[in-house]
Amino acid sequence: MSDLLALLMSYETLRVIWWLFLGVLLIGFAVMDGFDLGIGALLPVIARTDDERRVLINTIGPTWEGNQVWFVLGGGAIFAAFPLIYAAAFSGFFVALILVLFALILRPVGFDYRSKLPDPRWRSTWDWCLFVGGFVPALVFGVAFGNLLQGVPLRFDAEMRVFYDGNFFGLLNPFALVCGVVSLAMLAMHGAVFLQLKTVGELHARARRWQGIAALVYASAFAVAGLWLVLGIDGYRLVSFAGSEGASNPLAKTAVREAGAWLANYRAAPLLWLIPALGFAGAALAWRLGPRRPGWAFVASAVSVGATILTAAVAMFPFMLPSSIAPSHSLTVWDSTSSLLTLRWMFCMTVLFLPLIILYTSWVFRVMRGPVTLDDVRGSDAHY
């Protein structure tokens, strides 16, 4: 038992565990807050009247703040467990992250202020704010992943100061925009599946139609991005490094760009090909189950969301923030973490509190289960 505990608490194991924890938090955010973003992006096309828009807003109004906890936890995990990645990413992606932040700020303001006045122009303005608050983050998160897969123009000097030699418009390259479409369509699909759980009648039927459209766009863009990555984008390979137990020094390694390197992990373990396959299968199964079993359709959609993120993460491992201008300055799982003591304390806290968050979230959704109808919101001051 002591040998097992020593292995679990080793620097190498904890680095991998925190890579996994970060993946769990990002997937948790995409699954739990992703349908909120997707519903915001679909608000103008599914809801056609003020009452219908109120129904859609009230399907997520009671839970969206709790769902966003996953986003906060993900950011906190990067800050505490991978401080070099936090510093480099927030430097290079500063404008993009500010754009996401402003868009996310529109959501709570939109929820709270939309129904303060009955004026149609007032409500329409906040409805468009809620649309922007869903559309922009869903798109930008995908664009960010697209840039990670290509590498970003970062480098370190001899004093370990990080420099980013790109700009915001450089992030908007064709491959990254395709990845943005993957993200946007995926979350719109996920949001439409959730709406089938929470609405009835014509709103349910429209959500079903838009789920099909979003799933088709997602599957097409996911396939295009995958082929583009395999045929036209070089991956990264570690040639030498200080070791999995070594100090976090990104300059103490040699890395190269190499055609097909992003497929190395899949070639080493062919069973991993099931992960991208689950992305397609989950979307198809969610469409199939939607009319009869919307609960299971939501689970299938969540599997599709998680598999899509894992597809990129597995391809990149152990790289987390590759450098396009100095490959050996790329940040990996082995050279961008906090100290061993920090990872140990954070591991203990995560094991204690993450199950509590999951249990509380499950309880909230159980209490709030059931559809929201037009009759619920008409003449009611208790709803948004």
In the chain, count H helices and then E strands.
16, 6
Cα 63 to Cα 81: distance, rounded to the nearest angstrom: 28
In this model, does residue 158 exceed pLDDT 90?
no
> What are 52-63's pLDDT values in tens digits?
999 999 899 888
In this model, does residue 4 exceed pLDDT 80?
no
Residue 280 has what pLDDT?
96
Which tokens go with 30? 């995409």
In this model, does residue 236 exceed pLDDT 60?
yes
Residue 127 has what pLDDT?
92
pTM of the model: 0.93
Q: Which of 150-159, 178-187, 331-340 has the highest mean pLDDT?
A: 178-187
Which tokens go with 142? 């995908």
Cα 62 to Cα 369: distance, rounded to the nearest angstrom: 11
What mean pLDDT value characterizes the chain?
90
H/E segment holding residue 257:
strand 254-258
Cα 90 to Cα 383: distance, rounded to the nearest angstrom: 37
In this model, does residue 93 exceed pLDDT 90?
no
Find, among 158, 161, 213, the residue nearest to 185 by Cα. Answer: 213
Degrees (nearest 5) of the Cα angle 343, 70, 103?
125
Runs of H (alpha helix) within 164-200: 174-198
Degrees (nearest 5) of the Cα angle 31, 36, 39?
120
> What are 101-156's pLDDT values in tens digits?
899 899 888 888 888 888 889 999 999 999 999 999 999 999 999 999 999 999 98
In this model, does residue 8 exceed pLDDT 80?
no
Percent of the chain topping pLDDT 70: 97
> What are 252-302's pLDDT values in tens digits?
899 999 998 999 999 999 999 999 999 999 999 999 997 888 889 999 999
Residue 9 has what pLDDT?
75
Find the helix packing angle between 174-198 and 50-60, rounded to 10°: 100
Mean pLDDT computed over 75-86: 90
Confidence of residue 90 (pLDDT cuts 50, 70, 90): confident
In this model, does residue 7 exceed pLDDT 70?
no
> What are 200-224's pLDDT values in tens digits?
889 999 999 999 999 999 999 999 9
Residue 3 has what pLDDT?
67
In this model, does residue 380 exceed pLDDT 70?
no
In this model, does residue 48 exceed pLDDT 70?
yes
Residue 319 has what pLDDT?
95
Find, among 236, 220, 191, the residue nearest to 43 by Cα. Answer: 191
Judge contact between 205 and 62, C-beta under 8 A: no
In this model, does residue 330 exceed pLDDT 80?
yes
